[in-house]
Amino acid sequence: MTSARQERRQLCDLLIEVGPDAPTLCEGWDTHALASHLWVRENDPLGGMGIVVPALAATTERRMAAVRDRWSYPELVERIAKGPSALSPFGWPGVDAVANTAEFWVHHEDVRRAGDPAAEPRPSTPAFEERLWRQLATMGKAMFSSVGHDGLVLEDLDGNRRRIRPGRSTVTLVGAPSELLLYGFGRTGVARVEVIGEPV
């Protein structure tokens, strides 16, 4: 089973366990809204565009609301667990691992760490952390574009470094690749990341 499929399965199990009204780290979203987002992202090309194009965000919200009205929460989660349709690009061979490993890992943590108290980080494996480190190499510039630092370097717990962008002064973010990923996705309050240096 691929990492993406494992994360999908574990997230869906957790969504059923906590129910539709549990909090998440996604501002304004409970677990039902998060599940709607996951389905729209993979199965509704028009609705999914609002995730990356701010001008279409209202369309995405309407499509997510329609999904919540169309299916019960357990049925929606079951559909997510089955994966996207064969017509969706997310269902094409090879796309799942590239597009969904980070997505499902982060959203799994959105549910886990929204509790009071927040859950501790899950145990990981070197192979999984290496996969995320490679994804940070390809996604890093876009992912960290809104992080308010001038120069930015990522450093994993083994001392491997990756420059995301040059600058007059450099801030280094140190942590496991999985935690750096959370930080890059805006979960700075829960990510176990050490920030070295002063942002400009």
Query: For residue range 47-57, what is the model confidence (pLDDT) as tens digits?
Result: 888 888 989 99
3-state SS assignment for residue 147:
coil
pTM of the model: 0.91
Which residue, 101, 169, 96, is CA-closest to 136?
A: 101
Distance of alpha carbon 98 from alpha carbon 120, whole angstroms: 26
Give domain limits for the chain.
3-112, 126-196
Name the CATH code of domain 126-196 (choices 3.30.1050.20, 3.30.1490.100, 3.10.129.10, 3.30.450.40).
3.30.1050.20
Q: Residue 130: CB partners within 8 Å, gap ≥ 6?
A: 177
Instruction: Tally Cβ neighbours within 10 Å of residue 6.
Output: 15
Q: To which residue do tokens 């996207």 refer?
A: 84
Residues of the chain with pLDDT > 70, as a percent, come to 98
pLDDT in tens, 25-77: 999 999 999 999 999 999 998 888 888 898 999 999 999 999 999 999 999 99
Instruction: Tally Cβ neighbours within 10 Å of residue 138.
Output: 10
